[in-house]
Amino acid sequence: MRAVFLRVLLFLSVLTGLWILSAPLLLAVEPAFVRESLRARGMGNAFTATANDEMLFFYNPAGLRSVNYNIYEVVGFNFTTNQNVLDLGNSSSSNATLGDIAGKKIYAEGNLGLLSHINSRFGWSLFSGGLLDVQVRNPVFPYLETKAYLQSGIAGGMAWSFMDYQLDVGLGAKIVYRAGIDTKLHVFDEAIIEITEDKKTTKLEKKFSNKAAFAPDVGATYHFDSVHNMEPKVALSLQNIGGLDFEAAGKVPMTMNLGVSTESELSGFDFILAADYRDLTNSQDLVSEGNIITTRNLKLGAEMGWNRLFNGHHLFSLRVGRNGPYNSVGWSMNLFGFKVDFAKYSQEIGGYGGESEDKRTSLQVSLIF
């Protein structure tokens, strides 16, 4: 399987490198993650104080105490791609399309969730997935920024309430196995030139890594007294304490995230307003030199849900948000346990907020009870 994976990646790298030789030179950093919620993406990823479903382990384990139902996700599959890939698929002329995407990012991500369960005390989530992220930089001496991996793992945790249920505290952990690469590769590097030499080990193969990593999580949520039918709360979480180091397959650093939210109910509709500031310690290195904060880490979101079901999900939900400098939207529909989620959002891939927008679309289908 490793050989097939490398051959496919090398083939894509060769094609991309030969066709894309006029890319702009940008200093780009994109936050690393294990998994992200489609619900959260529709809300601008403002989820630290809001998390209360099967994806909460990737945001705040204290969110378990906000789960009022038993939730079972038998299976869930989602796929995310960016606008460049969609344009490539919709074009009738491959030559014209390759010219159109010169210097742009190629991004595709797929995830599978299996046999997840959460309640107000504890829970777990089994998952697997893969990501392909390729972009050519520097038109003079072009090189590929290549991130590609397959991963699988388990996340879980427990939570408790204190101070007459006003303070929730959660502990969680993840074990993740990842195989892949995260590297820069020159277009005319030995790794590409030697692709037809079966008996040689290429530089790309040497950069391939497979490794398991473990990291604990901790979170806390404080519930304020209700104000005019609103239930405000503030949350703080430490995700991936100590970091997840997969060597050549990439790293996911520890992040400290702060979030606030309020929930209310009106005429059968449930409303959520939320805001996050992610990565307070700048572990992802997204803050420009000389600054102490960045708009890239500011997340704003809102959700309106109608007809809450037996598992806490809604029959239908609408979401809007602001992921740093860019807008996001999303919706979900839940029919007899068959749930469909959709999100359209943008990710900053430049050196600062507003420099380079990468538009992405996510779709998920799940069987949840």
Per-residue pLDDT tens digits of the chain, which is 369 residues long:
555 444 544 444 444 444 443 334 444 578 999 999 999 999 999 999 999 999 999 999 999 999 988 999 999 999 999 998 888 877 655 554 444 555 778 999 999 999 999 999 999 999 999 999 988 766 566 667 889 999 999 999 999 999 999 999 999 999 999 999 988 776 555 555 454 555 545 566 667 889 999 999 999 999 999 998 899 999 999 999 999 999 999 999 999 999 999 999 988 899 999 999 999 999 999 987 778 888 999 999 999 999 988 777 899 999 999 999 999 999 999 988 899 999 999 999 888 888 889 999 999 999 998
Long-range residue pairs from 124-127, CB within 8 A, at least 24 positions apart, any chain: 124/154, 124/155, 124/156, 125/54, 125/55, 125/57, 125/73, 125/154, 125/155, 125/156, 126/153, 126/154, 127/35, 127/152, 127/153, 127/154, 127/155
Give start and end residues of each alpha helix (H) in the chain: 2-19, 38-42, 83-90, 94-100, 190-193, 203-207
Q: What is the pLDDT of residue 46?
A: 97
Q: What is the pLDDT of residue 309?
A: 85
DSSP state of 224: P
Give residue for tokens 């703080």: 236
CA distance 58 to 335: 26
Supply φ then ψ for residue 346, to 5 degrees.
Answer: -130, 145
Q: What is the pLDDT of residue 352?
A: 84
Q: Evaluate whether 84 touches 136 at the Cβ level (below 8 Å).
A: no
CATH class of the domain whose range is 2-368: mainly beta
Domain residue limits, the chain:
2-368
CA distance 40 to 43: 5
CA distance 229 to 215: 38
Provide the token pair at 64: 């378990």
Provide the token pair at 299: 């997340």
Q: Which helix (H) or strand (E) holds 218?
A: strand 209-223
Give residue for tokens 């990012």: 105
Q: What is the pLDDT of residue 16?
A: 46
Residue 5 exposure: Cα atoms within 13 Å on the Cβ side: 18
List 78's β-bridge partners, or say none: 111, 364
Provide the token pair at 368: 């949840």
CA distance 109 to 114: 17
Q: What is the pLDDT of residue 329?
A: 98
Q: What is the pLDDT of residue 189?
A: 58
Q: Evaluate whether 312 touches 67 at the Cβ level (below 8 Å).
A: yes
Question: Hey, what amino acid is at 335?
Answer: L
Residues near 143 by beta carbon (within 8 Å), at least 6 away in sequence: 136, 137, 184, 185, 186, 187, 189
Task: Report pTM.
Answer: 0.86
CA distance 181 to 186: 14
- What is the CB neighbour count within 10 angstroms for residue 325? 16
